[in-house]
Amino acid sequence: PPKIIAKETSTDMVVREGSNVTLVCKATGYPEPYVMWRREDGTNINYNGES
């Protein structure tokens, strides 16, 4: 199973709409973990202007 490296991973954030934010998740494991971010309200997160 994947192991998340907590000290190198983002925690909860609140930012103004239209602002930039960088989310980081460091994880190890085999097979290599796939990381997916989600909002608590279930709406899409835009990535480089795309959702």
Is 4 inside a domain boundary?
A: yes
Total-model pTM: 0.61
C-alpha span between 25 and 4 (Å, rounded): 7
What's the pLDDT score for residue 50? 61
pLDDT in tens, 37-50: 888 898 878 776 66
In whole angstroms, give the CA distance from residue 50 to residue 45.
8
When pLDDT is cut at 50, 70 and 90, the band that residue 8 belongs to is very high
Q: Does the pLDDT at position 51 exceed 80?
A: no
Domain range enclosing 33:
1-9+23-38
Cβ atoms of 47 and 16 within 8 Å: the answer is: no
Per the structure, the count of domains in the chain is: 1
In a domain, 31, yes or no: yes
Q: What is the pLDDT of residues 14-31, one digit of tens each?
A: 889 888 888 899 999 999
